């Protein structure tokens, strides 16, 4: 298979030491192209190497995942063709998180639901070239997906979890905070951002993805600090946490993680078999509406 990994990525990740339970789900990953079949959006603000579904499936075989959630990337904008193709290959083993706009036709949302999409992602990340959605736009997106019981996924960073905490509290239905809110761990976990996330996780509709350990690590390649932060969140809301690789790690600068190392951080995050089962199997089954 040709090298389809992003520049600087770990081309041949190692097999993790940790054995995952049957039915484990990688709840955050992306497909890119291949661009000759699924062109990137004309206004995409970066151009990754292709990361087709075939390379992801090889990775999941190595790591031990049976299910996955494919998150639509801004590289493909609102053209979900690559993700839909991937979901069809999974025949029920994969789910999707879409990018929905206020002007997305209602019949398109219905079509995506039928294909296996179960969430809509909102970006509050200026580096992705997108303006944070207005309250009116957010309300329009929520109205479009609420009939299908989709969750709303929020991509925040820095002080974002503090800045948008009122938004999180106001949203109906389930809210998923991506990548542990991408807080700055250089000051540890006794910070307003971590305290705010912990407080929000006391709400019964708020979930968090314990993904992005490599992005949060203060002294990579060690990810012990971010793994311990993930463990803190998992202990705080054990029934509303899920985990993902974030493969192929788009917009990673400097340190590129080995996905085998990422999986092995789960020994810290979910130290018992019951913890692993809940994090990787039971919680994703509920959140993403997988068949039991």
**Beta-strand runs (E) in the chain:** 25-29, 67-71, 94-98, 117-123, 151-155, 175-177, 206-209, 241-242
Query: What CATH code would you report for 26-287?
Result: 3.20.20.140
pLDDT at 3 over 60: no
Is it the case that residue 47 has pLDDT exceeding 90? no
Out of 246, 259, 261, 282, the active site residue is 246
Of the candidates 57, 43, 176, the one whose C-alpha atom is nearest the C-alpha of residue 118 is: 176
Strands 206-209 and 241-242, sheet pairing: parallel
For residue 106, the number of C-alpha atoms closer than 13 Å in the C-beta half-sphere is 6
**Given this model, what pLDDT does residue 7 score?**
47
Give residue 251's pLDDT band: very low, low, confident or very high (50, 70, 90): confident
In the predicted structure, residue 128 carries a pLDDT above the cut 90:
no
- Secondary structure (3-state) at 68: strand
Residues counted in the chain? 292
Structure tokens at 282: 């039971």
Both tokens of 260, joined, read 């085998």
Q: Are 177 and 208 in contact (CB under 8 A)?
A: yes
Whether the CB-CB separation of 69 and 244 falls below 8 Å is answered with: yes
Note the pLDDT of residue 263: 98
Distance CA(67)–CA(281), nearest Å, equals 9
Distances (CA, A) of 41 to 14, 75, 243, 256: 33, 6, 28, 25
Active site residue 246: yes
Tokens of 104: 């997305």
Q: Which two tokens stand for residue 107?
A: 């019949």
Axis-axis angle for helices 135-145, 106-115 (nearest 10): 60
Paired tokens of 163: 């800045």
Can you tell me the distance from the alpha carbon of 101 to that of 98, in angstroms, rounded to the nearest whole number? Answer: 10
Element (H, E) at 35: none
Q: Is the pTM of this model over 0.75?
A: yes
pLDDT in tens, 62-101: 999 999 999 999 999 999 999 999 999 999 999 999 999 9
Q: Give backbone dihedrals phi and psi of 249, rounded to 5 degrees, phi first.
A: 60, 60
> What per-residue confidence (pLDDT) applies to 42?
87
The pLDDT tens digits of the residues spanning 139-170 come to 999 999 999 999 999 999 999 999 999 999 99
Contact by Cβ (8 Å): 50, 33? yes
Contacts of 190 (CB under 8 A, 6+ apart): none
Q: When comparing pLDDT for 10 and 113, which is higher?
A: 113
Averaged pLDDT, 202-226: 96
């Amino acid at each position: 298979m040709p090298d389809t990994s992003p520049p600087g990525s770990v081309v041949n990740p190692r097999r993790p030491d940790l054995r995952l339970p049957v039915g484990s789900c990688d709840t955050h990953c992306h497909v890119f192209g291949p661009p000759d079949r699924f062109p990137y959006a004309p206004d995409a603000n970066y151009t990754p190497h292709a990361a087709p579904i075939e390379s992801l499936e090889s990775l999941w075989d190595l790591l031990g995942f049976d299910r996955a959630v494919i998150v639509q990337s801004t590289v493909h904008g609102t053209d979900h063709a690559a993700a839909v193709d991937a979901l069809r290959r999974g025949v029920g083993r994969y789910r999707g998180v879409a990018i929905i706009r206020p002007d997305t036709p209602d019949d398109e949302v219905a079509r995506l639901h039928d294909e296996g999409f179960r969430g809509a992602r909102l970006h509050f990340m200026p580096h992705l070239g997108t303006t944070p959605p207005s309250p009116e736009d957010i309300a329009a997106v929520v109205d479009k997906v609420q009939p299908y019981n989709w969750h709303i996924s929020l991509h925040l960073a820095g002080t974002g979890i503090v800045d948008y905490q009122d938004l999180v509290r106001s949203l109906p239905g389930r809210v998923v905070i991506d990548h542990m809110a991408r807080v700055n761990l250089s000051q540890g976990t006794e910070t307003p951002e971590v305290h705010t996330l912990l407080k929000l996780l006391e709400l019964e509709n708020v979930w968090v993805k314990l993904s992005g350990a490599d992005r949060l690590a203060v002294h990579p390649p060690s990810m012990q600090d971010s793994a311990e932060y993930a463990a803190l969140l998992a202990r705080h809301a054990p029934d509303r946490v899920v985990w993902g690789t974030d493969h192929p790690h788009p917009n990673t600068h400097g340190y590129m993680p080995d996905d085998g190392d990422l999986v092995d951080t789960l020994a810290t995050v979910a130290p018992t078999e019951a913890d692993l089962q809940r994090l990787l199997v039971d919680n994703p089954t509920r959140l993403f509406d997988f068949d039991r």
